Amino acid sequence: MTTVGEVDHARNGFDPQAILTDWDTGVVSTLPDGRRLRQFEITALDQEIEIAPGVFFPAWTYNGRVPGPSLRATEGDLVRIHFANAGSMPHTLHFHGIHSARMDGVPGAGEVVPGAEFVYEFEARPFGCHLYHCHSLPLKRHIHKGLYGAFVVDPDPARHPEHAAAARARLLGSEENAGWQELVMVMNGFDTNFDEENEFYAVNTIPHAYAKRPIRIARARPVRIYLINVTEFDPLNSFHLHANFFDYYDHGTTLTPTLRTVDTVMQCQAQRGILEFSFAEHEPGLYMFHAHQTEFVELGWMSFFEVADALA
């Protein structure tokens, strides 16, 4: 029921286990007006990656990985992204967020030809679970080749006095946030024979990666997933959790759930949200999660949590 053999993650230069938690919080400094400046560096590259054992895909990447770096800022930060295009095609960084037309990262506004650079700048808002992707044309090709990533904006608790505790629990670096087990999951697919249908589906690029190496979860601590769908060619993807239910925050832009006590959500491309759940009342063991399009399961989008009393 899984791929046979192993992908060489070292050759790829990224590992799906690391991608779950390796936030890029940028370089932080303080502006003369007291505001926080958060600077990121992103380079687009042409790069062959191994999708499944022995199956290679001519990807376009941000910083050498698919998905690109998981950028994380705090609401109100001034975000400045230094983007260099070292690839062979024009590319952009188009952020889902609130910004000016000049910073939209579309043809005519921040599109970067090979060898050139551009600096995008905007305030991080609204708080939530967002994404960025290339918006050069043809769009489906530029997205499907691998140019996308998570963009999470943590709420500033001072701006949300009515839900300050919930805001602090989301704020990376806070004591309350440290109690959570946070994971980034970008649902994607790969058309390896270029017939505009996907041959492989995954969370974070490598089919069955978390079936072969389940994601270790400490039973006592709650789980928060930043779930983003970028799957090309299929209108919908979904996330189904076995033996448990979760609360869901659509786009992550609220501090109270928009769906309570569900075990499945579906997302169209670019839709995203935050899932919160707990295994504290469960016995240790392997708990499955997967797309509930069963074709996607068989083609790679099937995973396990390994719930344990303590993490080794």
Residues of the shown chain interacting with Cu ion in the complex, contacts defined by CB under 5 A: 91, 134, 136, 142, 147
Q: Which is closer to Cu ion, CB of 20 or CB of 131?
A: 131
Query: What is the DSSP-derived secondary structure letter of residue 213?
Result: S
- Residue with smaller CB distance to Cu ion, 125 or 144: 144
How far apart, in whole angstroms, are the C-alpha atoms of residue 23 and residue 257? Answer: 24
Q: What is the DSSP string of 7-26?
A: --HHHHT--HHHHTT-EE--
**Smallest distance, Cu ion to C-beta of residue 43, A:** 13
Q: How far is the CB of 41 from Cu ion (least distance, A)?
A: 17
Q: From the CB of 142, what's the least distance to Cu ion, in Å? A: 3
Q: How far is the CB of 149 from Cu ion (least distance, A)?
A: 13
Query: Which pairing describes strands 223-229 and 246-250: parallel, antiparallel, or unpaired?
Result: unpaired
CB of 176 to Cu ion, least distance (A): 38
| CB nearer to Cu ion: pick between 119 and 137 | 137
The distance of closest approach from Cβ of residue 88 to Cu ion in the complex, given in angstroms and rounded to an integer, is 10
Amino acid making up residue 181? Q
Q: Cβ of residue 66: shortest distance to Cu ion, in angstroms?
A: 13
**Are the CB atoms for 189 and 67 separated by under 8 Å?**
no
* DSSP secondary structure of 89-114: S-B--EESSS--GGGS-BTTBS-B-T
Nearer to Cu ion, 7 or 147 (CB): 147
CA distance 212 to 225: 20
Judged by beta carbon, residue 147 or residue 307, the one nearer Cu ion is 147
Coil, strand or helix: which one is 236?
coil
Amino acid at 88: S
By beta-carbon proximity to Cu ion, the closer residue of 47 and 293 is 47
User: What does the alpha-carbon distance between residue 246 and residue 185 come to, in Å, rounded to a whole number?
Assistant: 15
DSSP string, 242-257: TT--EEEEETT--SS-
Whole-angstrom distance, CA of residue 62 vs CA of residue 230 = 15
Look at the block and give the residue holding tokens 């994404």: 131
Nearest CB to Cu ion, comparing residues 188 and 303: 188
Spatial distance between the Cα atoms of 236 and 290, rounded to a whole number of angstroms: 14
